[in-house]
Amino acid sequence: MRSKLLLESTAAKVAKSVALSLTIGILTGSGVRAQPNPSVPEPSVPTVTPAPSLDVPPSGNNPPKPLDNQSKSIKVDTVSGAAETALVEYLAAKNVKFYGAYWCDHCHKQKALFGATAAAKLTYIECAADGENSQRKLCKQNNIKMFPTWEIDGRYYPGTKDLKELAKMSGYQGSTDFKYQK
Q: For position 75, what pLDDT does the model report?
A: 83
**CA 92 to CA 2: how far, in whole Å?**
83
User: Does residue 12 form part of some domain?
Assistant: yes
- pLDDT band for position 9 (cuts 50, 70, 90): low
Instruction: Label each residue of the chain as H, E or C.
Output: CHHHHHHHHHHHHHHHHHHHHHHHHHHHCCCCCCCCCCCCCCCCCCCCEECCCCCCCCCCCCCCCCCCCCCCCCCCCCCCCHHHHHHHHHHHHCCCEEEECCCCHHHHHHHHHHCHHHHCCCCEEECCCCCCCECHHHHHHCCCCEECEEEECCEEEECCCCHHHHHHHHCCCCCCCCCCCC
- pLDDT band for position 137 (cuts 50, 70, 90): very high
Note whether 56 and 141 are same-domain residues.
yes
Give the total number of structural domains in the chain.
2
**CA 56 to CA 176: how far, in whole Å?**
36
Q: For position 115, what pLDDT does the model report?
A: 94
Sign of torsion over alpha carbons 159, 162, 163, 168: negative
Per mean pLDDT, which range of 40-49, 74-83, 136-145, 149-158 is the poorest? 40-49
**Residues 84-126 pLDDT 10s:** 999 999 999 999 999 999 999 999 999 999 999 999 999 999 9
User: Does residue 178 form part of some domain?
Assistant: no
From the list 172, 182, 61, 142, the residue with the least C-alpha distance to 150 is 142
- pLDDT band for position 10 (cuts 50, 70, 90): low
Note whether 148 and 91 are same-domain residues.
yes
User: Does residue 96 form part of some domain?
Assistant: yes
User: Does residue 42 form part of some domain?
Assistant: no
Note whether 98 and 21 are same-domain residues.
no
Note whether 97 and 162 are same-domain residues.
yes
Note whether 20 and 64 are same-domain residues.
no
Note whether 16 and 85 are same-domain residues.
no
Note whether 86 and 129 are same-domain residues.
yes
Note whether 104 and 75 are same-domain residues.
yes
Which CATH number belongs to the domain containing residue 98 in this structure?
3.40.30.10
In terms of residue numbers, what domain contains 8? 1-33
Note whether 97 and 145 are same-domain residues.
yes
Q: Are 136 and 128 in contact (CB under 8 A)?
A: yes
**Residues 20-74 pLDDT 10s:** 444 444 444 444 444 454 554 444 444 455 554 454 454 444 444 444 445 676 7
Note whether 29 and 55 are same-domain residues.
no
What's the predicted TM-score (pTM) here? 0.63
